[in-house]
Amino acid sequence: MIRWLMRRHRDEIRQRPFPADWRAVIERNVPYVALLPQADRDELDGHVQVFLAEKQFEGCGGLEITDEIRVTIAAQACILLLHRETDDFAKLVSILVYPSAYVAPGGRYLGGGIESDDLQVRLGESWVSGVVVLVWDSVLTGAGDIHDGHNVVLHEFAHQLDQETGASDGAPILPQRSMYVAWARVLGHDFDQLVRDTEHHHRTLIDAYGATNPAEFFAVATETFFEKPRQLKSKLPELYDQLKEFYQQDPIALNDSHR
Buried b (16+ CB within 10 A) or exposed e, 20-38: eebbebbeebbebbebbee
Question: The domain that contains 122 carries what CATH number?
Answer: 3.40.390.10
**Parallel/antiparallel/unpaired status of strands 56-59 and 94-98:** parallel
**Domains identified in the chain, total number:** 1
Mean pLDDT of the chain: 91
Task: Give the Cα-Cα-Cα angle 239, 241, 243 (nearest 5 degrees).
Answer: 70
Confidence of residue 256 (pLDDT cuts 50, 70, 90): confident
Rounded-to-integer distance, Cα 240 and Cα 237, Å: 5
Q: Tens digits of per-residue pLDDT, 92-107?
A: 999 999 998 777 766 5
Rounded-to-integer distance, Cα 3 and Cα 132, Å: 24
Confidence of residue 16 (pLDDT cuts 50, 70, 90): very high
Sorted by sequence, the CB contacts under 8 Å of residue 199 that are 6+ apart come out as: 111, 112, 211
Confidence of residue 187 (pLDDT cuts 50, 70, 90): very high
Q: Tens digits of per-residue pLDDT, 78-93?
A: 999 999 988 889 889 9
Which residues constitute the domain of residue 191? Answer: 2-257
